[in-house]
Structure 1
Amino acid sequence: MDLGLRDATAVVVGGGRGMGLAAAHCFADDGARVAVIGRTRQVLDDAVAQLRERGSPDAVGLVADCADDTAVQQAFAEIAQRWGGELNILVNAVGPTVRGTFDELSDADWRQAVDEGAMGMVRCVRAALPLLRAAGWARIVNFSAHSTQRQSVILPAYTAAKAMVTSISKNLSLLLAADEIMVNIVSPGSIASEALVGWADSVGVDGNDPYALMAAIDEHFGHPAHLPRAGLPTEIGPVVAFLASRRNSYMTGANINVDGGSDFT
């Protein structure tokens, strides 16, 4: 399906790998101009090479740590200069790296989780808003997580930060409705990300086998999906691309679970 993204401008924060890169691939496949923002130059360079091959010849990778507001502002200033001060799509796919049970986490751990998982998104939206408002149409898609609805004892800080993302996104959808800028949330379930595959390997499971991975999730966490396998990053990208496109003409403030089936809405 043509999503109407040819020559649209899209920024994917955390677009160098995983689910963010899968979304960036979809934008490039549809002919959009794509920028990916991340912390590691080599990762971004590899992503940009893929995006150019897939249909975004002027794709660009910008190094910025989303914990640094100055760096974020500079990245979006460069985007404004490249694209004439307008931006159609902003995707925030960065998540916190903090893990540990409640009694293992320090104040510094909680602050890090909120800074990485929620405030990074806040900084990027704040920097992008003038560009989004200047465009003829605009969409924002923010990544939350299914753990906000199905708790895990090793993810309290991660989950709290993602719950902030959900709440702030819903508030933004209300604020920006007058501008007809649609803001939606994607909550991935058990997706075979680098982190989850690495965890599976650490417990002796082949993390690259989505069926084995889901069986391990069931055994260790009691959180199986209805489907008998874990999801793939490539199964998240098309959902993000639709929400970010002009084809999505009347959805805003929605939280979309992409989780292989669950008992929550």
Structure 2
Amino acid sequence: MDLGLGNASAVVVGGGRGMGLAAAHCFADDGARVAVVGRNREALDGAAAQLRERGSPDAFGVVADTVDEAQVREAFSVLSDRWDGQLNILVNAVGPSVRGTFDELGDEDWRRAIDEGAMGMVHCVRAALPLLRAAEWARIVNFSAHSTQRQSAILPAYTAAKAMVTSVSKNLSLSLAPDEILVNVVSPGSIASEALVGWADSVGVDGSDPYALMEAIDEHFGHPAHLPRAGLPSEIGPVVAFLASRRNSYMTGANINVDGGSDFT
């Protein structure tokens, strides 16, 4: 399907790897101008090279730690100069790195989870809004998580940060509706990300096998999907790309579960 992204400008925060990169791939495949933002220059350069090969000839990476609002402002200043002060698509795919049970987490862990998982998104939306408002059309897609609906004992701080992302996104869908800027959320389930594959390997499971990975999730967490395997980052990208595209013209304020089937509503 032609998503109408030819010559659109799209930035994926956290687009150097994983699900963010999978979304960036879809934008490049449809002819968009794509930038990826993150902390790791090597990952960003590798991602930009892939995007150029896939159809975004001017793809580039911008280094910024989204926890630092000054760095975010500088990154979006670079984007503004590159794209004449306009931006069509903002995707926030960064998640917190904090893990641990409630008893294990201290105040600094909670602050870091909120900073990494939610305030970084706030910083990026704040910096991007003038560019989004200046564009002919604009979309925001934020990554939440299915753990906000199906809890895990080792993810209370992570889940709290993602719940904040969901709530702020819902509010933005309302407050930005007069500007016709559509705001939606994607909530991935058990996706074979680097973190999940690394966890599986640490417990003696072949994380590269999505069927074995889902069996391990069932055994350790009791959270199997209806489908008998974990998802792949490449299965998230097309969902994000549709929500961020001109083809999505009337969906806003939605939280889309991409989880292989689950028992929550």
Give TM class, smaller chain.
over 0.9
Residue aligning to 2:255: 255
Residue aligning to 1:121: 121
Q: Which runs of 5+ in 1 are unaligned?
A: none
Distance in 2, Cα, partners of 1:233 & 1:260? 13
Distance in 2, Cα, partners of 1:240 & 1:264? 21
Distance in 2, Cα, partners of 1:134 & 1:18? 30
Distance in 2, Cα, partners of 1:137 & 1:233? 27
1:84-95 pair list within 5 angstroms: 84-95=84-95
Residue aligning to 1:234: 234
Residue aligning to 1:164: 164
Distance in 2, Cα, partners of 1:144 & 1:41? 25
1:125-144 pair list within 5 angstroms: 125-144=125-144
Residue aligning to 1:48: 48
Q: Which whole-Å deviations, capped at 9, do the CAs of 1:202-259 have from their partners, x for residues lacking one?
A: 0000000000000000000000000000000000000000000000010000000000
Residue aligning to 1:106: 106
Matched, 1:28 2:28: yes
Q: Structure 1: which 4+ aligned runs deviate by more than 4 Å?
A: none
Residue aligning to 1:12: 12
Distance in 1, Cα, partners of 2:80 & 2:60? 13
- Helix, strand or coil for the counterpart of 2:37? strand
1:217-228 pair list within 5 angstroms: 217-228=217-228
Deviation of the 1:96 alpha carbon: 0.2
1:144-159 pair list within 5 angstroms: 144-159=144-159
Distance in 2, Cα, partners of 1:60 & 1:174? 32
Distance in 1, Cα, partners of 2:95 & 2:40? 15
- Helix, strand or coil for the counterpart of 1:142? strand
Matched, 1:2 2:2: yes
Residue aligning to 1:244: 244
Residue aligning to 1:96: 96
Counting aligned pairs with the same residue, the percent is: 85
Deviation of the 1:135 alpha carbon: 0.1
Deviation of the 1:263 alpha carbon: 1.1
- Helix, strand or coil for the counterpart of 1:251? coil
Distance in 1, Cα, partners of 2:257 & 2:51? 26
Matched, 1:57 2:34: no
- Cα-Cα RMSD: 0.3
Aligned residues: 265
Report the residue type matching 2:98 in the other structure: V
Q: Which runs of 5+ in 2 are unaligned?
A: none
Deviation of the 1:19 alpha carbon: 0.1
Deviation of the 1:264 alpha carbon: 1.2
Deviation of the 1:3 alpha carbon: 0.1
Residue aligning to 1:200: 200
